[in-house]
Chain A
Amino acid sequence: MEPLALYIHWPFCAAKCPYCDFNSHVRERVDQARFRAALRRELAFEAERSGRRTLVSIFFGGGTPSLMDPATAAALIADARALFDAAPDIEITLEANPTSVEAATLGAFRDAGVNRASLGVQSLREAPLRFLGRRHDAAQAIAALEIARGLFPRLSFDLIYARPGQQEADWRAELREALALAADHLSLYQLTIEPGTRFATEYARGAFALPDGDDAARLYAATAEEAARFGLAPYEVSNYAKPGAESRHNLQYWRYGDYLGIGPGAHGRLSFGDTLRATRRHRAPEEWLARVERDGHAITGEEALSPADRAREALLMGLRLAEGIDPARIAARSVLPFEAAVDPAMLAACLEEGYVEWTPAGRLRATDEGRLRLDALLPALLR
């Protein structure tokens, strides 16, 4: 049986950031005890279905899970360890916002069993932090990083770049400061305008402009260059790590492994023999809570994915990774011959153009040039 990762969604934030389309909600008060009980019920429900498997990772994501009562994390970690066979090196990550309030509770999360933190620093400059609607300044973020560094064996943080008007030289300088602060992992995202966000409206109105494709490509190249100087390699489109420090949880997604997702709006992929089921849960926190309390879970949709869908998912995730994909693994995960999953003429053209390549180990990977154009490459390549 495939080993498992477990994703736990905490859907609340102190404020909604204008760029964010994650399932996050602002509530004056949250009944921590009820949510804790409901999350534990969903976990039990999923464990019942999946059966006892090896658990390689737990990830508390959000929203802002650092606003969760640490006792909830403790209970869920204990439950998971009881319901599954935790791998000896199990990774347990908490997403945290670097405000002073949250910095103060990090110790309690460490005590609950969290061994990796991922901080949403977003920028080390004041003006962009304000533009991004963040409720912390750079100094607070750095202070939170220092605290986290003392608490967790593994630590990462997020930055958002390719911001309006951002100059390459300024970004390089900011990134160098970040790399100096970093441990062995960074997520470096380019600002993406998501439909339904406040930024989407403002952007459509022309309130600000983003770097064009050429500029974004230059910033992307500069990012990899700076990261390399500190020994961090882009093992995924926007994730950089020293060898061995990659996020195991996210690798589980990108390698198209099995994962359970609990909490409002969480997604899961779970295989049983030759079938692979996709599940999703109710997104609205209160409705989710009511359903769990009534039914023991808040699944709103579950389907057995078709071989073609599975092949597409496996490829679109796998080609984001520097290691690329193993055709045999794709075929096994999708129960579709690899040759049926990709367009042979396009594959040949992309090989010739140097967008993809075969590694000596027989893996297919997108080259640096290919990964830079992955959104165009995938629909061309996949059938």
Chain B
Amino acid sequence: MTDTPLSQIRNFAIIAHIDHGKSTLADRLIQATGTVAARDMKEQLLDNMELERERGITIKAQTVRLNYRAKDGRDYVFNLMDTPGHVDFAYEVSRSLAACEGSLLVVDASQGVEAQTLANVYQAIEAGHEIVPVLNKIDLPAAEPDRVKQQIEDVVGLDATDAVEISAKTGLNIEGVLEAIATRLPPPTGNPDGALKALLVDSWYDPYLGVVVLVRVKDGHLRKGQRIRMMSNGSVHTIEQVGVFTPKMVPAASLGPGEMGFVTAAIKTVADTNVGDTITDDRAPAREALPGFKPSIPVVWCGLYPVDADDFEKLRESLAKLRLNDASFHYEPETSAALGFGYRCGFLGLLHLEIIQERLSREFDLDLIATAPSVVYKIRKTNGEEIELHNPADMPDGSVIDSIQEPWIKATILVPDDYLGAVLTLCNDRRGQQVELTYVGNRAMAVYRLPLNEVVFDFYDRLKSVSRGYASFDYQMDGYEEGDLVKISILVNAEPVDALSFMAHRSAADRRGRQICEKLKELIPRQLFKIPIQAAIGGRVIARETISALSKDVTAKCYGGDITRKRKLLEKQKEGKKRMRQFGKVEIPQSAFIAALKMDA
């Protein structure tokens, strides 16, 4: 089943803004080619993880091999690549795209072009793809295919005359899509006799097979028993199995140029299988690796602590298990005076952080406290030494700091005109620098440079709320720049709470300090004693609030002789206190840690 002639292979991705119908179209293509028996068909076949299904996002790249007899009478093999669907995974997306020669650009004909549409198209163009525009949801009364075609031409700069008009939901014109793949997308190229070069697209951990590696062969062959070498780290493994996804894993004798499939080789952890790496033959290695490999570097860090200190060991094991399947996430032990023993964890972005946190609680049943996310600052000390700061609590004393650099991003925001003012205000409030402001049909497209630090705190939420959900947003990293940054410490009952300290630009420090004190006042329930809350830069207090003592808390009714019940109630209360963090006489609920640094209530 392998060694299909190159001319009859098509490798393609579907790119789309969220909810424009990527998953639905993929399902239809799988169905129409009879790849999965009708009875095995379930919605969104490719979104495997529960979390992926729920959120409608794809975290891991996946492929499915489709067999299609085209109108020209020839039998094609289509490899559909489902790429991860979020900016946090921009690098992973670029590697998935590098495994394909073409893309279907799916645009919701009732919505038109969105920020992610653009970002994805640019990436596909960068990957050298041939792009076929597909207008989806034309069954909707609100669909305006002609207007959207015009938009694709004006904004995206693609010829949309031959855009395929479909309804993925009803199945209308799926045939048109299949034909377009066969006739309009280019076949892969490659040398069957050259030294093996296969692109490592993604990998995941399977408890039975070990690590499953998703590959795209460029030159040469992959076969069972072959000794392969990872070119980035030189590690060598013996292939146990090669095969293709239908989307079930089906073994094959070998995989040749242009083909996509999987390799298993008794690999224990995905940390050994770097996305973007080149796999070659150990005995007859290629001279050069494929271009574009980058080790993944976390951009956002936060501390994760078990609510119940007894769960630390469980957290350690769970993180190790998660890392088996996600090498882009990093963790190192950390102690906090406030929170005890935990881990500082690095993520590709905010969504990635949220996903990991959610998986820890869902799959491993862990109750966690997360500290506010922090970006990575570069600090130059007066002695010339440079350090990377992952945790504001570790910030050196101001007297030894020469300068601090912070990461910036370039953000693209599309928003209807009505909300443009509010969006620009938001960006300006967050120290944004306008790069470009143009119009896409009746919508504005604002390109801004923003400090990442200003984005990690609830920027998405704010953007959504000021635009009533109509703004779409995408970003890419855009280098480091020096900034006038200070560390703000939070003192509860005159004691600094390390887990609540954070970095801010000096111009925003007073406002942020005030907001956080106010927020904490709301979040920390009144207790036996009154509690002063302060924000400070170094020794200087910039804001303060006081939580007054609770005024009455006594059950003034008759209990009779049932003391047991009263005692059990007391024990439950004490148990409940365990879930709070004790600071001397004061208890802070974990919600305070999570919400404290969101700037707007």
Contacts and interface: CB of A to CB of B under 8 A. Distances in A.
B73 interface: no
B570 A213 contact: no
B107 to A, nearest CB: 46
A261 B559 CA distance: 14
B585 A349 contact: yes
Given A189-B558, A355-B528, A379-B573, A214 B552 contact: yes
A37 interface: no
B554 A237 contact: yes
A187 B558 contact: yes
B567 A309 contact: yes
A109 interface: no
Contact of A237 (B556, B570, B571): B556
Contacts of A316: 563, 566-567, 570
Nearest to B587: A380
A220 B570 contact: no
Contacts of B561: 7, 253, 259, 261, 266-269
B556 A189 contact: yes
A237 B556 CA distance: 6
A32 interface: no
A61 interface: yes
A190 B560 contact: no
Nearest to A256: B563
A309 B564 CA distance: 9
Contacts of B549: 373
Contact of B554 (A22, A346, A375): A375
Interface string B177-193: 00000000000000000
A261 B561 CA distance: 8
A213 B550 contact: yes
A280 interface: yes
A372 B564 contact: no
Nearest to B562: A267
A349 B583 CA distance: 13
B585 A253 contact: no
Interface in A181-198: 187-190, 192
A187 B560 CA distance: 12
Contacts of A350: 528
A267 B553 contact: no
Interface residues of A, number: 48
A355 B529 CA distance: 10
B554 A313 contact: no
Nearest to B575: A379
Contacts of A269: 561, 563
Contacts of B567: 309, 312-313, 316
A378 B577 CA distance: 12
A220 B570 CA distance: 22
B557 A189 contact: yes
A220 B563 contact: no
Interface in A358-383: 371-380, 382
Contacts of B563: 253, 256, 267, 269, 278, 313, 316-317
B553 A213 contact: yes
B555 interface: yes
Contacts of A371: 554
Contacts of A375: 553-555, 573
A238 interface: yes
Interface in B502-560: 526-529, 549-560
Contacts of B287: none
Interface residues of B, number: 28
A376 B556 contact: no
Contact of A373 (B552, B559, B566): B552
A73 interface: no
Contact of B551 (A217, A309, A312, A317): A217
B574 interface: yes
A379 B527 contact: no
Contacts of B550: 213, 373, 376
B557 A220 contact: no
Contacts of A39: none
Contacts of B528: 350, 353, 355, 373, 376-377, 380
A378 B570 contact: yes
Interface in A1-38: 7, 22
Contacts of B559: 253
Interface string A253-282: 100100101000011110000000010100
A216 interface: yes
Contacts of A377: 528
Contacts of A192: 555-557
Given A213-B552, A253-B563, A309-B567, A376 B527 contact: yes
Contacts of B553: 213, 372-376
B557 A253 contact: no
B577 to A, nearest CB: 6
Interface in B564-590: 564, 566-567, 570-571, 573-574, 577, 585
A372 B549 CA distance: 12
A303 to B, nearest CB: 9
Contacts of A190: 556-557
A281 to B, nearest CB: 11
A155 B557 CA distance: 19
A10 to B, nearest CB: 13
A118 B573 CA distance: 32
Contacts of A216: 551-552
A265 to B, nearest CB: 8
Contacts of B554: 237, 371-375
A245 B555 CA distance: 23
Given A189-B558, A192-B556, A372 B551 contact: yes
Given A253-B563, A267-B564, A278-B564, A312 B570 contact: yes
A237 B557 CA distance: 8
A190 B554 CA distance: 10
A336 to B, nearest CB: 14
Contacts of B560: 7, 22, 61, 253, 267
B552 A372 contact: yes
8 contacts: A216-B552, A238-B557, A253-B561, A253-B563, A261-B561, A267-B564, A313-B563, A376-B528
Interface of A: 7, 22, 61, 158, 162, 187-190, 192, 213-214, 216-217, 220, 237-238, 253, 256, 259, 261, 266-269, 278, 280, 309, 312-313, 316-317, 346, 349-350, 353, 355, 371-380, 382
Would you list the 3 A-B pairs with minimal beta carbon distance, nearest first? A217-B552, A190-B556, A379-B573
Given A213-B553, A316-B566, 7 more contacts: A192-B555, A192-B556, A269-B561, A313-B567, A373-B553, A375-B555, A375-B573
